[in-house]
Each structure stands twice: as C-alpha cells, then as structure tokens.
Amino acid sequence: MTPGAAIALDANVRRIAGDLIAFLETGDACEGLFAPDVFFDVTVPHWRLQAAGREDAIALRLDQHPAPGRVVRSRLDETSTGFVLEFEERWEEGGRAWYAREIARADVGENGITQLSVYCTGDWDERREEQHRRAVRLVRP
C-alpha cells in the first residue's frame, strides 16, 4: 500500500486485496477470494480475454502468468463496490526476467470478488526495460 494514505480502508477490502496479491504471486486462490460466479475481464495491449466462474477465472490468470512472481509495488483505493489495485509485478520465466504494470478494479460481494477487470501494459522483458530506461526519465518509480 502507498505510504501516507489518508483514509482507513474497510478490513474486508484490505483482506481481499491482500488475498488477490497473494494469488497474483503464487497462483493459489484462497477460499473466499472469488465468488463462484465471478466475471474476469483482462485487457492487454491489442487483446482482450474473459472468463466466467471461479475455476475459469483462475485458469485464465494461470494461462497468462504460469510462473510465480512478486508484486513489488501496489496502491489500494476503496470504491463504493470494492476496490482498485494498482500494482507492478516481476517474475522469471524461460530464463528471462519480466515486468508488468497493471490496474485491477474489483467488485466485492458476500462470497468474494464478483467482477474483476484488469488492464495490463503488457509484459516487458529485460531488453524492453533497458530500452525504456535509455529513452525515458521517470519522475517517480
């Protein structure tokens, strides 16, 4: 979470967002993370994918990111229906290091996340990250 956040978040929202981060890192979805009828909508550069139902949503994520990784930076904002989670991931796959920057918007119901929309920059390998470092000076990480 971002240091200096001005508002206290609902404990259930914090728990589910933490469970989502754990799922992103490990591929293991704990009971109560996703509602049985969850709708999962993923947008990546030049493509869009969807899944309906807990098992298909989990399978979609694992198909897109089969390797475990780390969420290295995140920001959580509560909404009237759930939360928005901005995050950066790093992982190793095929002997290469990868990075992605994403935003997830989640609606939360009694049985967990009922709708999850993820918008991803696409996966950057080390070469793309180095190209970016040479071309752009970021004001903040």
Average pLDDT over residues 64-85: 95
Question: In the prediction, which pLDDT does 141 show?
Answer: 78
pTM of the model: 0.90
Question: In the prediction, which pLDDT does 22 show?
Answer: 98
pLDDT tops 50 at residue 139: yes
Q: What is the pLDDT of residues 92-105, one digit of tens each?
A: 999 999 999 999 99
Q: How far is CA 51 from CA 28, 29, 45, 66, 72, in A?
A: 17, 15, 18, 16, 26
Would you say 113 and 20 are in contact if contact means Cβ atoms under 8 Å apart? yes
Question: In the prediction, which pLDDT does 7 show?
Answer: 52
- 1: confidence class by pLDDT, cuts 50, 70, 90: very low
Phi and psi at residue 76, to the nearest 5°:
-115, 130
Q: Which of 41, 106, 42, 48 is nearest to 77 (CA)?
A: 106
**Strands of the chain, DSSP E:** 34-44, 47-52, 69-78, 82-93, 96-109, 112-120, 124-125
When the candidates are 3.40.1380.20, 1.10.287.130, 3.10.450.50, 3.30.450.20, the CATH number that belongs to 11-135 is 3.10.450.50
Share of the chain above pLDDT 90, in %: 87
Distance CA 91, CA 27 (A): 12
> What are the structure tokens assigned to 105, written together?
């918007």
Question: In the prediction, which pLDDT does 9 show?
Answer: 64
Q: What is the pLDDT of residues 8-23, one digit of tens each?
A: 568 899 999 999 999 9
pLDDT tops 80 at residue 67: yes
Would you say 119 and 43 are in contact if contact means Cβ atoms under 8 Å apart? yes
Helix, strand, coil proportions of the chain in percent (round to 5)? 25, 45, 30
